[in-house]
Amino acid sequence: MAQHSSKGARFQAVTANRLSDGEVVYLTPDNQWAETFAAADISDGPEAGDALLARALPADFELHVLEPYLFEVLQDASHFKPASVREIIRAAGPTVRLDLGKQDDAKRES
Amino acid sequence: MYRYDEFDHQLVSERVKQFRGQVERRVSGELSEDAFKPLRLMNGVYLQLHAYMLRVAIPYGTLSSKQLRMQAHIARKYDRGYGHFTTRQNIQFNWPALDKIPDLLEELATVEMHAIQTSGNCIRNVTSDQYAAAIDGEVEDPRIISEIIRQWSTFHPEFTYLPRKFKIAVTGHDNDRAAIKLHDIGIVIKQNELGDVGYEIHVGGGQGRTPFIAKKMADFVPKAQLLAYLEAVMRVYNMLGRRDNSYKARIKIMVHETGEVEMRRLIEAEFAKIDASQMLAVPPAEIDRISAYFASPEFETLPASSDVLEAAKTQDADFARWVRANVVAHKQDGYAIVNISLKPIGGVPGDASDVQMEAVADLAERYSFDEIRVTHEQNLVLPHIRLDDLKTVYDALHAHDLATANLGLISDTIACPGLDYCNLANARSIPLAQEISERFADLDRQYDIGELKIKISGCINACGHHHVGHIGILGVDKKGTEFYQISLGGSADENASIGKITGRAFTEETIVDAIETVVTTYTDMREGSERFIDTYRRVGLDPFKERLYAE
């Protein structure tokens, strides 16, 4: 699997795709899979990152999600945001179709 | 068009049933993802960034209106109202839910379509010339042999687990619109001095990480021996192709490492064995049976020119420009080939909405003998339109934002889905295509620039064919940020060439300016009626580099 987090990454989160429909999901502090990045558990430091990923790998998760992996998160003032363009796009939807993906749901809620 | 026989129907319907059971077992936990993934891939189901993606095969890029209407129905019922036509003449749906895909495939099968051979290390869906049976100067309709190859290759037990995927393209014309030299096997239908039809075979072309132009392996394989020859190529590759490193597993690497002469010797030795057995000699009666499906439409006897058309061109300048750019001469007097650009200015290359697909299907049914073609340049074609009907067809296309008059021009860009959708991509492709088309939106400027093929890939796998773009753009990732590398001088036609990289990559903010610099360098230097590619071949890379990287 491609590397989605740099060696020096401080903050990280775990993401996967949901088995039933491929929706992007994030591992939450209470070990659920949420559809929004805002609900993701954020680890601080490499060891905490490893521990976070370990929580995503139990066999029973395989019934719900595919290919969980760690990705780097940046802290911006009091907010966290994904570090890479790839993860920013996964968290929102295609940049060329703002009516599709999570960004569309966000619009509907606002 | 080819119609399924009982075996085709049985194969496809059994495959849908199998896949339904596999999905049910995956969802229930009976199958692990490791076990399920190769099965879903064999049915065209990929996992992309936001959702699953289903790739539907359009054999040799030919569709009936009923089949295109089914794509519109699928887009509406199972997806988000649109489909994406690809550089493999296929269509992809970006948002289907896994548990609904068996239902989708069942509906697809009702119009004799499927997603077989759109993924996995097998012989993939055969591609061909979008002007087949409509263009003058063709030796033979390439779809006949494409269909025979489809039947031979589908579920071929020996070639289901090849070292890597394998792509075959066929053209029946000297002007190559199927990029045959960039395929694992490229076939050119030829006629020899005795008047016999046979096949010139090119082997080992491809793009991706290590691009190669195919080597000509045989000048003339007689008609009845084609499958024996293809089987020989496949068998040599299957036995000796590398399985230790997926980056080196395509036949192009084998041809390169083995050498053209030795490769030819290996193929011919195998061919002699297979040919002697006569196992794969295609009976003339079977060729005739399949040929009959592709019989020429019943064209009317019409004059070569149309007063109706000429009058309409005089009255409507936009229509006249569209005719000039998008309409191509037909082999039959009184008819024309209509190209439908899926590259509106600022649009997503290759995308078509459900409503647009239905509009094209309606036009095909009424005006084009029920046929639509998909091009590897991500456009559609109505192959047989009467000159008298061109204005009516144009007006209907225009009403659906399908009449952009930019075929082969700078805004007719190939772009892969890139990082907006694709799990493998390093950078976005589509926004760049959109910005370039907006920068050069002025059609008069596009006509002045002339034929210029920009091809954009979001990663080195080269689905956007950047290696063979007159201007190629490759998206690269540097620590999570997108950069774009330019290459120049590529070509996918009968004079195929691989582009050369200009130098260091450009940022998202500077890449469109860099493309404009390349274009103005060309327009400043061109002589007479030289196209971009002609000027590049005359002056080489250096003048472009100097202007691009001037301090």
> What ranges do the domains of chain A cover?
11-109
Task: Please state, in angstroms and rounded to a whole number, the distance separating the CA atoms of residues B351 and B324.
Answer: 24
pLDDT at B403 over 60: yes
Task: Encode pLDDT of B206-259 as tens digits.
Answer: 999 999 999 999 999 999 999 999 999 999 999 999 999 999 999 999 999 999
Q: Does B519 score more than 70 pLDDT?
A: yes
d(CA A82, CA A84): 6
Smallest CA–CA separation between B219 and chain A, in Å?
43
pLDDT band (50, 70, 90) for residue A104: confident
Q: Is A110 in the B-facing interface, judged by CB distances under 8 Å?
A: no
Answer whether A86 sits within 8 Å of B431, measured CB to CB: no
Only one residue has tokens 């394989």, namely B221
Residue A2: its pLDDT value, please? 52
Whether the pLDDT of residue B404 is over 80: the answer is yes
Chain A's closest residue to B348, CA to CA, is A96
ipTM score here? 0.94
Chain A contact for B50 (CB, 8 A cutoff) = yes
Contact across the interface for A20 and B47, Cβ inside 8 Å: no
Q: Reply yes or no on whether the pLDDT at A42 is more than 70.
A: yes
Distance CA B358, CA B349 (A): 18
B166: which DSSP letter?
A: B
Please tell me the distance in Å from B481's CA to the nearest CA on chain A.
Answer: 6
Residue B77 has pLDDT above 80, yes or no: yes
8 Å CB contact of B479 and A6: yes
Q: Inform me whether the pLDDT recorded for A108 exceeds 60.
A: no
H or E, element range at B224: none
CB distance B459 to B424 below 8 Å: yes
Does residue A61 surpass a pLDDT of 90? Answer: no
For chain B, the structural domain boundaries read: 6-109, 134-293, 307-399, 414-548
Rounded to an integer, what distance in angstroms lies between the CA atom of residue B276 and that of residue B268?
Answer: 12
| Distance (Å, whole) CA B3 – CA B112 | 8
Q: Which fold has domain B307-399?
A: Sulfite Reductase Hemoprotein; domain 2 (3.90.480)
Distance from CA of B345 to the nearest CA of A (A): 13
Mean local confidence (pLDDT), A39-46: 96
CA distance A83 to chain B (A): 7
CATH 3.40.50.2000 for domain B414-548, yes or no, is no
Q: Do domains B6-109 and B307-399 have the same CATH topology?
A: yes
pLDDT at residue A106 in the model: 59
Strands B471-478 and B454-457, how do they pair? parallel
- The torsion angles phi and psi of A37, rounded to 5 degrees, stand at -60, -35
The distance between the two most distant Cα atoms of chain B, rounded to a whole number of Å, is 68
Are B480 and A83 an interchain contact pair (Cβ–Cβ within 8 Å)?
yes
* Class of the domain covering B134-293: alpha beta
Q: Is the pLDDT of residue B479 over 90?
A: no
Please, are residues A61 and A2 in contact by the beta-carbon 8 Å criterion? no
Of chain A residues 79-108, which have a CB less than 8 A from chain B?
A: 83-86, 89-90, 93-97, 100-101
Q: What mean pLDDT comes out for the span B44-65?
A: 97
Q: Chain A to chain B, count of Cβ pairs less than 8 Å apart? A: 79
Q: CB of A31 within 8 Å of any CB in chain B?
A: no
**What average pLDDT does chain B have?**
97
Residue B508's identity, in one-letter code, is E
Q: In 3D, which of B143, B121, B126 has the Cα closest to residue B134? A: B143
Percent of chain B with pLDDT over 90: 96
- For the entire predicted model, the pTM comes to 0.96
CB B300 within 8 A of CB B386: yes
Task: Round to whole Å and give the CA distance between B551 and B189.
Answer: 50
Q: Do A72 and B49 touch (CB under 8 A)?
A: no
* Better-predicted residue by pLDDT, B429 or B278: B429
Amino acid at residue number B299: F
| Separation in Å, CA B135 to CA B251, B329, B332, B446 | 32, 7, 8, 25
Structure tokens at B187: 């076939």
Q: Is the pLDDT of residue A109 over 60?
A: no
What SS3 state is found at B481? strand
* Torsion on CA atoms B118, B123, B125, B127, rounded to nearest 10: 140
Residue A64 contacts B, CB cutoff 8 Å: no
**Three-class SS string for chain A?**
CCCCCCCCCCEEEEEEEECCCCCEEEECCCCCEECCHHHCCCEECHHHHHHHHHHHCCHHHHHCEEEEEEEEEEEECCEEEECCHHHHHHHHCCCCCCCCCHHHHHHHHC
- Distance from the Cα of A64 to chain B's closest Cα (Å) equals 8
List the structure tokens of B549.
């990287």
Q: Do A95 and B479 touch (CB under 8 A)?
A: no
Indicate the range of A74-78, B180-184, B248-252 predicted with least confidence: A74-78
Contact B47 A67 (CB under 8 A): yes
> What's the rounded mean pLDDT across residues B315-339?
98
**Helix B284-293 / helix B142-153 crossing angle, nearest 10 deg:** 110
Residue A1 pLDDT more than 70? no
Task: Tell me how far apart the alpha carbons of residues A105 and A65 are, in angstroms, rounded to a whole number.
Answer: 21
Three-state SS at B220 = strand
B38-60 burial, b at 16+ Cβ within 10 Å, e below that, comes to ebbbbbbbbbbbbbbbbbbbbbb
B79 inside 8 A of chain A by CB: no
Closest Cα partner for B348 from A99, A103, A17? Answer: A99
Rounded to a whole number of angstroms, the distance from the CA of B422 to the nearest CA of chain A is 10
| Residue among B33, B481, B482 minimizing CB distance to A62 | B33
Question: Which residues on B lie below 8 Å from A100 (Cβ)?
Answer: 50, 80, 95
Is the pLDDT assigned to residue A110 strictly greater than 70?
A: no
Identify the CA nearest to B71 among candidates B359, B293, B337.
Answer: B359
Subunit contact B49:A90, Cβ cutoff 8 A: yes
Q: Does domain B6-109 have CATH number 3.20.20.10?
A: no
Average pLDDT value for residue range B422-437: 97
Order across the sheet with B335-340: list the strands: B62-64, B371-374, B380-386, B335-340, B327-329
For residue B308, pLDDT over 70 is answered with yes
Q: What is the pLDDT confidence band of residue A60, given thresholds at 50, 70 and 90?
A: confident
A49 contacts chain B (CB < 8 A): no
> What letter would DSSP give residue B332?
S
The predicted model gives B276-305 an average pLDDT of: 93
Give the other-Cβ count within 10 Å of A98's Cβ: 12
**Helix, coil or strand: residue B79:** coil
The answer to whether the Cβ–Cβ distance between B481 and A96 falls below 8 Å is: no
- In this predicted structure, the answer to whether residue A3 has a pLDDT above a threshold of 70 is no
Helix (H, G, I), strand (E, B) or coil at B535: helix
